[in-house]
Structures are given as structure tokens and as C-alpha cells.
Amino acid sequence: MATVTEQFGIQQALAKLGIKEINEGTSTGSKNFANGKIIESYSPVDGSLIAKVKASTKEDYETAMAKAAEAFKTWRLMPAPKRGEIVRQMGDELRENKEALGQLVSYEMGKSLQEGLGEVQEMIDICDFAVGLSRQLYGLTMHSERPMHRMYEQWHPIGIVGIISAFNFPVAVWSWNAMIAWVCGDVCIWKPSSKTPLCAVACQNIIKTVLERNNVPEGVSCLVVGNESGDLINNDKRIPLVSFTGSTRIGRHVSKTVAERFGNTILELGGNNAIIVSEHADINMVLVGAVFGAVGTAGQRCTTTRRLIVHQSVYDKTLEVLKSAYGQLKIGNPLDSNNHVGPLIDKGAVQDYLNAIEKAKQEGGKILVEGGVMEGEGYESGCYVKPCIIEAENHFNIVQEETFAPILYVMKFNDIAQAIAMQNDVPQGLSSSIFTNNMREMELFLSHAGSDCGIANVNIGTSGAEIGGAFGGEKETGGGRESGSDAWKAYMRRQTNTINYGSELPLAQGIRFDL
């Protein structure tokens, strides 16, 4: 019987991406080197060892940082449109490697192949966005209170940007940061999750040809692997900006560490996202948004729908269609397009899932769709679980937490003000949604008295943000913004300039200083 790697062409994809049995874990763009311990990457799809990566030592990290610092001196002087042209070429290379990289994302992380391909498409899209941005790094001109003076502001590259990414989006989140940082004139050092290091190695291999073809200095794109590198980045005064994606717990440590050295952070942390289902909602639309939001990526998105707040008048009907849809979900190999739900990342995540279900029961939760671990042929990795629906109260301790798994908590509300209060009454503030055809409810939800999240949607789910908008959230989600809109400003330093083109030197505020 053919193995998963044989049946779905994984070995060919690995070969195209330059993934060997053992890969170097430190790279400075054109050279790969690492001397640390071996990190083994196992696929949650079938439990197989994919390949091994050498972790970066402190010495490897210092070598990479030295290259990055030197490269910045040259890269920042290159005109922004020229930097954009290089990013455009990276987008072309990603197009060429979309199928192979999407397969690797699916196999190493466990998300469906369609989601893996979609993640690579996000990388391509952000390249396109960054190319246009390279000609739009605008400042403002302001009127001075002093005669024959001009004031304006401009934006300069901030320096070396540290990117620490999570396993659930092993390539897209890096690209959201790196492509924008590069057109802004920064250089990047990337520490990927140790659960998905091969995806990072593949990305570095893909862009390597572009960097070399354009004679880009070694060090513009650096890769370091292993948990030790994360703390080295956080404590490094040479890195003015750290973009961290991960749990709130670790994000709190990153925030404190970087702030103590007066560095800046972009924090993309936990979400506890809710969909409000109004009595005026289209239930068929709710079904699509809620089910994909809750079970897509096996519940391992920061924008996953974790709570469904339903008006009491449509509660029974909503649960009826939800339970019917859950009964039709196919759980299995994510590379097989017939399946809807793939595995969790590892057995530790499975245990977290089981613990959350047990805690919900202990607090009085009612199981509406039974969870559990899948067993038997095709589930040998031990990482496949059943999406679960639990009737709960918003104040339950477990409901207030984020569990990275396909668990959906459902609850009732009586009026829209109560629903919005419930939606906001969690520590996190990333994504939110309301399904309604009532314009007053829509506008209230989007007003200053509505959702307190960084993302608020109407008649679409909580999951699936586009790169054109700034992505991020409030409260324990961290407050950072990545990707579109004017998120680029975080990767640059603002400078206010005043020019006196007259022959006298008047002081501001009418102050006189006669000599």
C-alpha cells in the first residue's frame, strides 16, 4: 500500500523546495550554516519523520546578526521601488512553487491542502501589495506658524526586524512582516516555530535565487531555528522591532522583555472570537461561516470561531442545522480534498483539547456534539480529533480561555446589547462577527458601543482576513497590526523636519531671544 508521501507526491515537493534529510537551520540569504542540536520535524498527518533541521547556536545567531547589520547599510540606500521590484520577483518564485510549498504546509502543519495553497496565495498577494506600497511610503506636509518655514514628516527604515512566527501559519505570517519590512528598507531575521521548521527552510530556499540574481547583500533575509534564538532576538538591542505571533502567555514575556530595552513590538496573540446570530440572520449563511470558522485548520487559527452567541428565537433552529452539518464532516488526511478536518499539530494539542472538554463538563457545560480522539486506520499519528459543540455560559473559566482545537461553545441571548456585551466579555479582542439583515444591528455592532475587537465583520465569519486590511486585535491579543492598510508605519521610524528658507530665525510660539 502506498504511503502518504508516495500517494500525494510529498517527496517530489520536498525535492523541489530543496528539503533534504538534514537541513541547515541558520541562513543569511545565500549561505546556510548551523551547528546546534538536531530538531526533528514529524508530520501530524501520518506521524512520519519528514526531515531534520540543525538548530542555530548563539554563535550562529551572532554570525547572522552581523551579516544583517552590514546588509542594512546597503539595503536601506536602495530606492524603495527597486526594493519593491525584488519583492515582485519573490512573488513570481512563490507562484512557481505554490503547489509544492502548499503541500509542505499541509503535510508539516496538518491543515487541508486547500488551506495550505491558500496560505501560499496570501504570500503572493502580500508581495503584490508590497510592490505597490514601495511607491507609496508617504509623509505629510504641514503649515508652519513661522513665516518662510516648511514642515514635513518622512519615514525612514527602522533597521533589523525580528520575526517570531507560530506553527499554525508557518509561512504567511512571515511574509506579512518580511515583504512589508523589505520595501520599507529593513532587513529581517526570522525565528520560525520549531514545530514547522521545514516550511521556513523552504521559503528561504525559494527567495534565495531572487536575492542572488539581484546581487542583494547577504543578510537581508536571515533564518535562525530553535527556541534559544527567540530569546536572543527579544533581548537584542540591535533589533528595534520584534513581531511575535503566538500565545498570550509567551507574548506577555516578549512584550516585557523587549519593552525593558525600549524596543517596539507587534504582538499577534490569542483570540476568543464570537459570532452573534441575530433573529434577523440568514441561517444558511450562518452555517457556512460558523462551521468553517470553528473547524477550519482543526480550530488552530487565532481567528477561529470559538463562541456562537445565538438569539433565543432562532437558537433551536441554528443548533439543528449545525449538528446536521457536523454529522457530515469528514475527518482525515488533509492532503485528500474529500476531507474537511485534518489533525491537530501534535499530541500535546490533543491533550489540551481533551482537558478543555472535561473542564467544560465540570463547569456545567452540556455536550451537544460529542468530541473524542479518532482511532483506527488513517489516524495512526494520534492527532485527529472530532469537532465538538458544547452548550455553555460565557462566564465559564474554560470559555474565557483560548483552546487551539475545534471546540465551539454555544449560548443564548435576548437582545442585541446583551449579545455585544457577551461578545466583548473575554480577555481577548481579535476577531468578531454578526449575522443579521437588520441595518440598525449592523451599525450598532460596528459602532464605538459595539465590538471591541480589531476585526469586526457583518455577514461573514471570524476567520479569513484579507491582506489589504490591517490585521490584529486589542486587549490580550496584543494591539499589533500587520499586513495591509497603513500597518507599514510600524516598520519605519517617523521623522519631523522643519526647513527655514528665509533670512531670519524666528522662534516658535512667538518666543523672543534677543542678543
| Active-site residue, from 24, 218, 268, 441 | 268
- As beta bridge partners, residue 245 has 268
CA torsion through residues 179, 183, 184, 189, sign: positive
**Local structure of residue 459 (DSSP, 8 states):** S
Angle between helices 283-295 and 315-326 (to 10 degrees): 50
The sheet with strand 22-23 has its strands ordered as 22-23, 49-54, 38-42
**Local structure of residue 55 (DSSP, 8 states):** P
- 3 state SS of 304: coil
| Active-site residue, from 199, 203, 302, 383 | 302
User: Nearest 5 degrees, angle CA 123-CA 129-CA 130?
Assistant: 90
**Number of helices followed by number of strands (H, E) in the chain:** 15, 22
Residue 268 among the catalytic residues: yes
Residue 429's nearest CA partner among 319, 193, 268 is 268
- What is the helix (H) or strand (E) element at residue 482, kind and residue range? strand 482-483
Question: Distance between CA 253 and CA 249 in Å, rounded?
Answer: 7
Buried b (16+ CB within 10 A) or exposed e, 83-98: bbebbbbbbebbeebb
- 3 state SS of 273: strand
Residue 358 among the catalytic residues: no
Query: Which residues are known to be catalytic?
Result: 268, 302
